[in-house]
Every structure is written in structure tokens, then in C-alpha cells.
């Protein structure tokens, strides 16, 4: 493995003006790795934001197909990262090789999806209302609308997806697709990985002739504040803790010019197991649910942290099956020492709560996370106890038994916003509990049927978002092609001569895109 420079990426060059350096760690042993990363100084944060601002006019001025070429070049560079790279990511995160390989594919696939979106052109949201010179009492002028990138975007990656939600992850892909240069704050949990990925992005930018400063990356603890407060930054993408995300939101809102923050934060992803489904396939559900809870050491935003069932013999049997399975689960290494410490505290809080009982799981100790199963009194949900609303990041889930359908309704009413909710239900269940669906829809970004929330497909229809505190803005998604909309804003042209109009709005429709013309969707060219 070659060495790491460890310098910040600013305007196409590397910079290490500060004296403070940071270390990356072997996640399995806790030993520091022999690489040093230079904490960005205040001047470097400023320079990175300025570099992005300088790149913005040129970058947003490129055609969408040129930006698509850039994203595809990044995809190729990511795919070209070799097995040494995979080993490095695995070393920094303790995630297994197959998972890293899969995540690399997901990350490059994400870039390619946004390239498709750019070529399809519907992200422009082109709308044309032609002039009506003879309208009475007043003629109508010619009005044409499309969408442009908002400006430089600051992105904060997540620890748990060192590729797909990090340096070249979904937020970066969406921002670049929108025509917004990026300043990425490298995650302290995988700085060497971040350097390799940033190099890949920079190679792709050079290959495709992108403006310098289209992608910048800074290292450091606490540099995020200066970045979010920088006047050049126009939006923020974040994946991480509720505390961290909310802090960024508060900073962004208090700026002289407030900016939007799209923070994906905390979700306990309730799973409702309904009676008929339990009767027909309780044991299967128990083993599938268990697999979802412990998958990747429970380190997923969509990990099922709350399982709700109605009092019945079937549910009691299901609880026993799940307990037996959980008791057999081995410990797993977490992403880093901080994550393990946080998991340990979360498990301790559940143990300490008088209305929560521990059903299964080995004692939490040592360097690994032990999967745990708890059961909480339904009053905790009904009374809105904060403990049940807080995500315990790791392989733990809490069962709640409600008395009946009415109590289930009340319990769901008390839930905070979630990324997902899952119904494990047969047709008879759905018929008997038709009131659940609209209620769940009000609480979440994604409603699943007879599946488990820990797989997030990257596609047009995905919503990885939801009401607060799942995210800071329920109107966005951080996975899937709709994510680009967070970084776009509409602009309208009035009576603009055709040759001066942006391509998506010209009469001839040279891009061949779908447009809303006088209230009708069409691809045809128009005449005046």
C-alpha cells in the first residue's frame, strides 16, 4: 500500500498549512495506522469554500451531458480501485471485504444513476407558458422556467458507509449532478479511505476537464462549523447523529443568509408484526428480522430498533423464537471505538430502565458489540418515553407488546418521524388494520410490506428521508435520484430571446426533454 499525503484538497491542489495532524485507526485492533492527516486551518476552510465558489459559474454552465461524463468517470475510477483499497477500507472500518466490494458497486452505480438523470433531463423541471398577446384584459408575456444548482454544497459523510454515504457518496453525487461544486469534510473514521476516493474524484475531474475546485476535501475535527458558516456555502448534506445534525442545522439557520441543511439523523424504524402473519410464518419472520437487526453489526440508519406486536399466543411464541435466536448471536466489531462506546451506553440505558426487561444477549463488554433483545412496557410508547424514541446505533432491538389494535394506534401516534416503517402482514391483517397505513405514511419516508428496512435501493422511487428527527427536512431524500432536487432552485425567464435562453428552454427543445408547455407535458419543439 502506497503512502498517504494527508493534505487537504483545495481547488485542485493539496494543502497542509496547519501544524495539527490526525491519525486514522485500525478498527479491529484500535491501533493507529501509520498515516497522518493535516487538520485544515481556518484559512484552508475558507480557501476550500472559495475554490468551490470559483468553480461554480463554470461548472453549472456545463451542459448536463458534460456533468454526466464527469459522474461516469468517477464511477469508472471507483470501480478501478483495487483489492488493496478494499483491504484499507476494511481495516479502517472493520467492515468485511464482501460488504466493501458491494458498497463500491453501489457507490459507482449511484454516480451512473445520476448521470442517467442528467441525460434524461427531467431534473430541469422545464416549464413553458407561451405569450398570449391577444389575451384580455391583459396580454400574457412569455415565461419559461428551469432549475439550476444552488451553489457550493458542504457535505458531511457518515461513518457507517465509508463509500456510499461518504466522500463520493449520495450527497456528493447529487450535488455534483445539480451543478454544485462540493466541499467534503472527510470523516475522521476513515480518512485514508477518503483520500483514495478523493484522488479518484480528482482524476475523473481532470480526465473530463472539470473546473478546478469542483471537488474539495478538508480533514479535521471541528472544521465543519467554519464550513457551514462560510458565506460561499449554499446548502449542506449530512448523515450522522441527531446531535451533530441538529447542531449544523442551528448554525445554518443562524447565518446572516440562512441555508438549507439536509441532515439524515435518527430513526428507530418500527416493525409491526401482525397476528395472521405471525400465525402463518412466525418462525420465519423471527429469523428474517433477526438477520436484519444484526446485519453489519446493526450499523444501518434503517436498522429495525422497535418491533411492535399485539398480545396473543402467536406474539408470545414469536418473542420466544426471537430471544432464542438472539442469544446465539456472536459479538461483532464496530466501526470505531466511539461507536462502540455509544452502543455500550445505549444498551446500559435500556438495562437501567425499570420498565424495560432484557430478553436475550450476552453481557456487553470488551471490544465487540453483543447483539441484544429487550422488551419494553407499552406504556413507554403511549406516554412518549424518550428512551424508546432514541436510536441505539448497533445490533439491538426493543420489543413492545400492545394490548390491541386501539393501543397500537395510540402507540404509533406517539412515535416521532422515521425513515421507515414496516408492516409484516397477511391480507387478512391488512384488511383488519386498514387504519394503520395512512398513519404510518404520516410518520415516515418509506413504508415496507413483508420486508426488512435494512436494504436501501438506489433508484428513482426510493425515499431515504422522513419527518424530524429522521431528517431535518422531510421534503428531501438522501438516496435515489430525487436527492438532486435538494440542490436545485427554479429560475424563470420572461420574454427572453430564444438564442439567449438556456438549452432546456429553447423553442426547438434541442435536448429533447420532457417539458410542461402551456399545461401539457410534451417533448415536441414549440413555435411562437
Residues 446-475 that bind a second copy (CB under 8 A): 446-451, 455, 457, 459-463, 465, 467-469, 472-475
405 binds a second copy (CB under 8 A): no
φ and ψ of 23, to 5 deg = -110, 150
CB of 145 to a second copy, least distance (A): 4
Q: Which is nearer to a second copy, 220 or 417 (CB)?
A: 417
CB of 333 to a second copy, least distance (A): 24
Q: Which residue has the cell 430564444?
A: 498
d(CA 27, CA 32) in angstroms, rounded, equals 9
Q: Which is nearer to a second copy, 137 or 222 (CB)?
A: 137
Q: Among the options 301, 391, 401, 407, which is catalytic? A: 301
Q: Give the β-pairing of 127-129 and 372-376.
A: unpaired
CB of 521 to a second copy, least distance (A): 5
- Of 128, 194, 236, 306, the one binding a second copy by CB under 8 A: 128
Q: Among the options 44, 92, 103, 264, which is catalytic? A: 264
Q: Is 92 a catalytic residue?
A: no
243 to 272: interface string for a second copy, x by CB under 8 A:
------xx--xx--xx-x------------
**Residues 132-191, interacting with a second copy (CB under 8 A):** 137-138, 140-141, 143-145, 148, 150-151
331 binds a second copy (CB under 8 A): no
Q: Which residue has the cell 466493501?
A: 100
286 to 315: interface string for a second copy, x by CB under 8 A:
------------------------------
Neighbours of 231 (CB within 10 A): 13
Q: Any idea what DSSP says for residue 259?
A: -
Q: Which is nearer to a second copy, 187 or 443 (CB)?
A: 443
HEC letters along 163-198: CCCCCCCHHHHHHHHHCCCEEEECCHHHHHHHHHHH
d(CA 517, CA 505) in angstroms, rounded, equals 10
Q: Which is nearer to a second copy, 219 or 262 (CB)?
A: 262
- Of 492, 498, 508, 512, the one binding a second copy by CB under 8 A: 492
Do 307 and 271 touch, CB atoms closer than 8 A?
yes
**Residues 499-518, interacting with a second copy (CB under 8 A):** 500, 514, 516
Residues sharing a CB contact under 8 Å with residue 352, sequence separation 6 or more, in sequence order: none
Residues sharing a CB contact under 8 Å with residue 200, sequence separation 6 or more, in sequence order: 74, 77, 78, 80, 81, 168
Q: Which is nearer to a second copy, 13 or 516 (CB)?
A: 516
- Of 21, 430, 503, 526, the one binding a second copy by CB under 8 A: 430
79 binds a second copy (CB under 8 A): no
- Of 30, 32, 61, 366, the one binding a second copy by CB under 8 A: 61
Q: Which is nearer to a second copy, 379 or 475 (CB)?
A: 475
Give the CA-trace dihedral at 521, 523, 527, 528, to 10 degrees: 40
C-alpha 267: how far from chain center: 12
355 binds a second copy (CB under 8 A): no
Q: What are the DSSP calls for 17-74, one per residue?
A: --S-EEEEE-TTT-PEEEEEEEBPPHHHHHHHHHHHHHHHHHHHHS-HHHHHHHHHHH
Residues in contact with a second copy, counted by CB under 8 A, come to a total of 75
Q: Is 327 helix (H, G, I), strand (E, B) or coil?
A: helix
Q: Is 301 a catalytic residue?
A: yes
- Of 239, 477, 478, 509, the one binding a second copy by CB under 8 A: 477
356 to 395: interface string for a second copy, x by CB under 8 A:
----------------------------------------
Helices assigned H by DSSP within 328-459 = 337-352, 378-382, 386-389, 405-413, 427-432, 436-443
Catalytic machinery residues = 264, 301
Amino acid at each position: 500500500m502506497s503512502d498517504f499525503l494527508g493534505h487537504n484538497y483545495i481547488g485542485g491542489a493539496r494543502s497542509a498549512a496547519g501544524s495539527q495532524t490526525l491519525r486514522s485507526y485500525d478498527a479491529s485492533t484500535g491501533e493507529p495506522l501509520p498515516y497522518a492527516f493535516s487538520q485544515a486551518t481556518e484559512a484552508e476552510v475558507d480557501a476550500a469554500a472559495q475554490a468551490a465558489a470559483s468553480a461554480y459559474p463554470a461548472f453549472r454552465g456545463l451542459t448536463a451531458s458534460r456533468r454526466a461524463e464527469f459522474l461516469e468517470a468517477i464511477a469508472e475510477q471507483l470501480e478501478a480501485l483495487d483489492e488493496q483499497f478494499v483491504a484499507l477500507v476494511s481495516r479502517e472500518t472493520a467492515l468485511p471485504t464482501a460488504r466493501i466490494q458491494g458498497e463500491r458497486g453501489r457507490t459507482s452505480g449511484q454516480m451512473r444513476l445520476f448521470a442517467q438523470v442528467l441525460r434524461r433531463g427531467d431534473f430541469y423541471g422545464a416549464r413553458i407558458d407561451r405569450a398570449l398577446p391577444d389575451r384580455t384584459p391583459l396580454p400574457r408575456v412569455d415565461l419559461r422556467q428551469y432549475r439550476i444548482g444552488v451553489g457550493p454544497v458542504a457535505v458531511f459523510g457518515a461513518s457507517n458507509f465509508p463509500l456510499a454515504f461518504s466522500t463520493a457518496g449520495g450527497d456528493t453525487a447529487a450535488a455534483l449532478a445539480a451543478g454544485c461544486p462540493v466541499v467534503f469534510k472527510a470523516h475522521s473514521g476513515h480518512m485514508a479511505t477518503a483520500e483514495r476516493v478523493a484522488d479518484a474524484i480528482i482524476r475523473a475531474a481532470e480526465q473530463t476537464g472539470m473546473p478546478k475546485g469542483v471537488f474539495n476535501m478538508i480533514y479535521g475535527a471541528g472544521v465543519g462549523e467554519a464550513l457551514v458558516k462560510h458565506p460561499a456555502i449554499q446548502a449542506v448534506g449530512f448523515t450522522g447523529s441527531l446531535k451533530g445534525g441538529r447542531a449544523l442545522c442551528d448554525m445554518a439557520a443562524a447565518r446572516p443568509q440562512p441555508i438549507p441543511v439536509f441532515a439524515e439523523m435518527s430513526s428507530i424504524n418500527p416493525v409491526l408484526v401482525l397476528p395472521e402473519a405471525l400465525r402463518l410464518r412466525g418462525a420465519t419472520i423471527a429469523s428474517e428480522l433477526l438477520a436484519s437487526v444484526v446485519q453489519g453489526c446493526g450499523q444501518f440508519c434503517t436498522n429495525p430498533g422497535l418491533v411492535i406486536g399485539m398480545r396473543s399466543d402467536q406474539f408470545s411464541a414469536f418473542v420466544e423464537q426471537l430471544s432464542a435466536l438472539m442469544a446465539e448471536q456472536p459479538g461483532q466489531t464496530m466501526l470505531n471505538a466511539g461507536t462502540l462506546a455509544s452502543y455500550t451506553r445505549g444498551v446500559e440505558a435500556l438495562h437501567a430502565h425499570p420498565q424495560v426487561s432484557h430478553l436475550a444477549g450476552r453481557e456487553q463488554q470488551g471490544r465487540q458489540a453483543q447483539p441484544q433483545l429487550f422488551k419494553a412496557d407499552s406504556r413507554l410508547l403511549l406516554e412518549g418515553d424518550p428512551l424508546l424514541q432514541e436510536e441505539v446505533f448497533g445490533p439491538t432491538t426493543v420489543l413492545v407488546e400492545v394490548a390491541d389494535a386501539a393501543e397500537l394506534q395510540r402507540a404509533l401516534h406517539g412515535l416521532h418521524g422515521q425513515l421507515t416503517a414496516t408492516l409484516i402482514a397477511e391480507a387478512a391483517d391488512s384488511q383488519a388494520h386498514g387504519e394503520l397505513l395512512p398513519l404510518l405514511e404520516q410518520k415516515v419516508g418509506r413504508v415496507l410490506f413483508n420486508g426488512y428496512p435494512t436494504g436501501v435501493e438506489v433508484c428513482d422511487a426510493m425515499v431515504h428521508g422522513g419527518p424530524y428527527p429522521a431528517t431535518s427536512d422531510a421534503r428531501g431524500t438522501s438516496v435515489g435520484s430525487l436527492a438532486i432536487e435538494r440542490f436545485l432552485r427554479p429560475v424563470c425567464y420572461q420574454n427572453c430571446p430564444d438564442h439567449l435562453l438556456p438549452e432546456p428552454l429553447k423553442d426547438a427543445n434541442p435536448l429533447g426533454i420532457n417539458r410542461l408547455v402551456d399545461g401539457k407535458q410534451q417533448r415536441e419543439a414549440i413555435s411562437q
